[in-house]
Amino acid sequence: MLAELLEALRVRPRTRNELLLLLQASPGQLEAALFQLSRGGYVDRAIPEQGSCHSGCGHCSVKNFCPGESAEETWRLTDKALSRVAPPA
Amino acid sequence: MTPVLRVATVGNPNVGKSSLINAIAGSNLSVGNWPGTTVDRLSISFELDQVHVEWVDLPGTYSLAGATSEESITRRELLTSPPDVVVNVIDAGNLERNLGLTLELSELGLPMVVVLNLVDEARAHGIEVDASKLSDCLGVEAIETVASSGQGCAEVKAALLRASRGRALVEYPEYFQAAVRQLDEPNRWRAVTLLSEDVPGLDSHEQAQRLRRQLELVQDPFLSVAEARLKMARHLTCDVEVRIDRGVSRTEKIDRLLLHPLLGLPLFLVGMLEVFRFTYEFSAPWIGFLDVVKGVLSSWVTSWGLAPLAQSFLISGVIGGAGTVAAFSPVLFLLYLAMAFLEASGLLARTTFLFDQVMKWVGLPGRSLIPLLLGFGCNVPAIYSTRILPNLGDRLRVALAIPFMACSARLTVFVLFAAIFFPKTAPYVVLGLYLLGLLLGLLTALLMRRFVPQDSDRTGIMEMPPYRFPSWRAVFRQAWLRTYSFLRDAAGPILGAVLLVWFLHQVPAGKPENSLYAGVSRALTVPLAPLGIHDWRLAGALMPGFIAKEVVVGTLGVSFLGEEPVAAGGLGEGLGQLATGFGVALQETVLAVPKLFGVPSAELPPDESPNGLSAAIGRACDSAGALAYLVFLLLYTPCVATVAAVRSEFGNGWAIFSVIWQLSVAWLAGWIAYQVMA
């Protein structure tokens, strides 16, 4: 599970829903796995930057205040994980 | 000699550990429906079948190897003073995630009882856990409970005396198992942890470091261990849990509305306004009644014909001081009642989700809103509760922001001044002050980001508790306990400060305006003059307010009413006034109910003659000066206890800085408020 999760995030940051579908995991399973990886410093929450948001808010000036953004909980690999998780041969 | 059994509760945050202890031992540990209610080691004791039980309630943790200060407290307790029995409390609705900690506890090798709490909620979500099967798998007793109603608690109590050690179930990869066998460490959890990660307070040794370096050449041992534990948790969950699809849950339906991207924030603001309207509308009649009581008692004292100094001591010092303490009770009780309801229902935790983006804007995690909201009750425990944040830099920034949160002691001054100077818009003025404090607190946190050292960002998972309709008994009990605790701790200092202020008014003998107190207070009006505060009695009340905001109203009472003559009154006349006052308060309380649900009235308030203190304050400044005074009072140092809390958590330097910062912000914001209003 952890290896698949790290591999999925190595490709690009992903939302919780994407990860659930991709890994065919239950919310509890995913939560437990993200917790372990977050505790070990392998993953963290990615905060969308102005203008690069996928949710259709575009350049909305109050996008960063919008609670709808936090529903799209996005996870990414940390530098520590990137240095340890080798890309597939 | 009575044998002693040491018990410790360990579990994930917000699974009902404190509720379980309260149900079993009849104690009053603080409970709330949000993670991080317990941030310190708390203990209680009771007798069980001629055994003296010492029960320790430990902060919630997801792992024994966690890095936050709360997690360290739990780990230190289990490693350095291992209890005779560990009670591992599990949320039956989140079995798989909770089992991670259970598996670690099994490896620790302490006798254990597993408590499957919140089974009622799990069933409501279509989740059924087979407790006896779980018990067979883990090798320890597993008991179903609903701690809030006491269900299953007798069984837990009985199981304490026959607790057994659990089986270490996790199967690690062979390369790792071999290293565990080689390591000279009898405790399996210690061995596994030493070989897989760095844990604060867990000293590694040369052999462990050497073995770990060898393991790292094969695979990442942290990932191997985490993977093996997750696999076992999954395996156990599949074995003992049955899920039935019951569609969208009640919690999800409510969350769709309350956490809606557009409706969420307006609904939150309406909710906050209702809390303040509830507190203001229902407390005002009873504060008025307490004024009647003070007036009647003063008139009786006057009728005794005592010497002027003795009469002044009794009326301004004793009755004034006691009256100040009493006047806090309705406001505090109602605010605590509303807060207890919000906490226990799960609504308070939603605010952390709602404000997650706002908190991110100031560079803080969403859960840092919880200490800030607690600051609305009292700043001191709020500063200690910053321990729920893993990052020291975040903790410091939140602690510097908390003093701007208007604690309940400040509310009494707000209510008094708002009623005098802004009678038509009093709830809005009070709400505005609260929001101003929150805004300036967040700006402080944002500004301090540049100056406070930041650790590496380790964002956690935000947990949303399910909605629970709290039992009214528990809510009232919580509100009463907090009010009682506040009054018990504050009554002495308030009375003492009021008597001291009265004494300083009398030195040297003569008119109060020539007293020592008045002299110092007049000097204080110089820096406060640009804020429209020219009256020495208003300026003077800010001095004891530095010690505690609770004494501000009492000090104003002594300063202003010392000059008001009190007419003598008879016993019958006084009793009549008390009965009438009580009837009026009761009637106004009933009339306040529809006000809560309607649009606030824009009509002029009924023509009421204000009481002595209100009338005197009303003459002391104009509304612009009053607003500036409220803003200054909101923002300057809350009390010495808050400064002491910052000092104890972050050191002298930051404590001194916080005082200087608060005074500067308070003066500047007060000046702006005065300029805008004037």
Residues B369-411 have pLDDT tens digits of 777 877 887 787 678 767 667 678 888 999 999 999 998 778 8
Does B97 lie in the same domain as B188?
no
Distance CA B610, CA B608 (A): 6
B375 is a domain residue = yes
Provide CB contacts within 8 A for B600, sequence distance 6+. Answer: B277, B427, B428
A–B interface: beta-carbon pairs under 8 A: 91
The domain of B198 spans 174-226
- Distances from the Cα of B342 to the Cα of A24, B32, B34, B345, B347, angstroms: 36, 9, 10, 5, 5
CB B390 within 8 A of CB B460: yes
Does B69 lie in the same domain as B22?
yes
**Domains along chain A?**
2-84 (1.10.10.10)
B342 is a domain residue = yes
Long-range contacts of B449-455 (CB under 8 A, 24+ apart): B449/B362, B449/B363, B449/B397, B452/B393, B452/B396, B452/B397, B453/B392, B453/B393, B454/B391, B454/B393, B455/B390, B455/B391, B455/B392, B455/B393
Contact: B265, A44; criterion CB under 8 Å:
no
Among B63, B197, B230, the residue with its CB nearest the CB of A33 is B230
Contact: A65, B357; criterion CB under 8 Å:
yes
ipTM of the complex: 0.76
Among A35, A71, A84, the residue with its CB nearest the CB of B461 is A35
Does B152 lie in the same domain as B212?
no
Number of domains in chain B: 3
Q: List the CATH number of the domain containing B114.
A: 3.40.50.300
Contact: B226, A36; criterion CB under 8 Å:
yes
Contact: B230, A29; criterion CB under 8 Å:
yes
pLDDT band at A3 (very low <50, low <70, confident <90, very high): confident
Among A31, A38, A64, the residue with its CB nearest the CB of B458 is A38
Put simply, whether B351 touches A (Cβ < 8 Å) is no
CB B58 within 8 A of CB B47: no
B122 is a domain residue = yes
Test mutation, A5, A30, A45, chain B, max B CBs within 10 A: A45
Query: Which pLDDT score is estimated for B454?
Result: 62
CA distance A59 to chain B (A): 16
B246 is a domain residue = no
Lookup result for tokens 């991110």: B360
Residues of A in contact with B353 (CB under 8 A): 67, 70
Query: Which helix or strand (DSSP H or E) is residue B406 part of?
Result: none
Closest CA to B89 of B27, B145, B32, B22: B145
Question: Checking phi first, is residue A24 left (phi over 0); if not, alpha (psi -120 to 50) or beta?
Answer: left
Q: Which of B130, B148, B165 represents a domain boundary (last residue)? A: B165
Does B538 lie in the same domain as B599?
yes
Residue B553 identity: V
Put simply, whether B128 touches A (Cβ < 8 Å) is no
Contact: A28, B259; criterion CB under 8 Å:
no
Does B618 lie in the same domain as B506?
yes
Does B203 lie in the same domain as B110?
no
Put simply, whether B259 touches A (Cβ < 8 Å) is yes
Residues A12-48 have pLDDT tens digits of 888 888 888 888 888 888 888 998 898 888 998 775 4
CA distance A89 to chain B (A): 17
Contact: A38, B460; criterion CB under 8 Å:
yes
Put simply, whether B217 touches A (Cβ < 8 Å) is no
B250 is a domain residue = no
Does B193 lie in the same domain as B295?
no
B238 is a domain residue = no
Put simply, whether B233 touches A (Cβ < 8 Å) is yes
Residues of chain B below pLDDT 50: 33-34, 36, 456-460, 601-610
Q: Which of B117, B135, B165 represents a domain boundary (last residue)? A: B165
Query: Which pLDDT score is estimated for B599?
Result: 54
Does B196 lie in the same domain as B269?
no
DSSP code of B318?
A: I
Q: Is the pLDDT of residue A7 over 50?
A: yes
CB B536 within 8 A of CB B521: yes
Residues of B in contact with A26 (CB under 8 A): 96
Does B151 lie in the same domain as B91?
yes
Is residue B113 classed exposed, middle or buried when 0-12, 13-18 and 19+ CB atoms within 10 A define those classes?
A: buried
CB B549 within 8 A of CB B633: yes
Q: Which of B145, B165, B185 represents a domain boundary (last residue)? A: B165
Q: Is the pLDDT of residue A5 over 60?
A: yes
Put simply, whether B465 touches A (Cβ < 8 Å) is no
Tell which B residues from 281 to 340 touch A, by Cβ distance under 8 Å.
none
Among A31, A33, A44, the residue with its CB nearest the CB of B457 is A44
Query: Which pLDDT score is estimated for A59?
Result: 45
Does B152 lie in the same domain as B196?
no
Contact: A41, B456; criterion CB under 8 Å:
yes
Does B191 lie in the same domain as B156?
no
- What is the number of other CB atoms lying within 10 angstroms of the CB of residue A28? 19
Nearest CA in chain B to A85: B220
Percent of chain A's residues with pLDDT above 70: 64
Tokens of B271: 């909710």
Test mutation, B61, B97, B192, B267, chain A, max A CBs within 10 A: B97
Query: Which pLDDT score is estimated for A67?
Result: 39
Test mutation, B70, B91, B223, B238, chain A, max A CBs within 10 A: B223
Residues of A in contact with B356 (CB under 8 A): 67, 70
Query: Which pLDDT score is estimated for B85?
Result: 95
CB B310 within 8 A of CB B624: no
Among B63, B230, B265, the residue with its CB nearest the CB of A67 is B265
Tokens of B395: 């903790």
Tokens of A10: 């190595």
Put simply, whether B638 touches A (Cβ < 8 Å) is no
B435 is a domain residue = yes
Does B199 lie in the same domain as B106?
no
Test mutation, B265, B461, B462, chain A, max A CBs within 10 A: B461
B462 is a domain residue = no
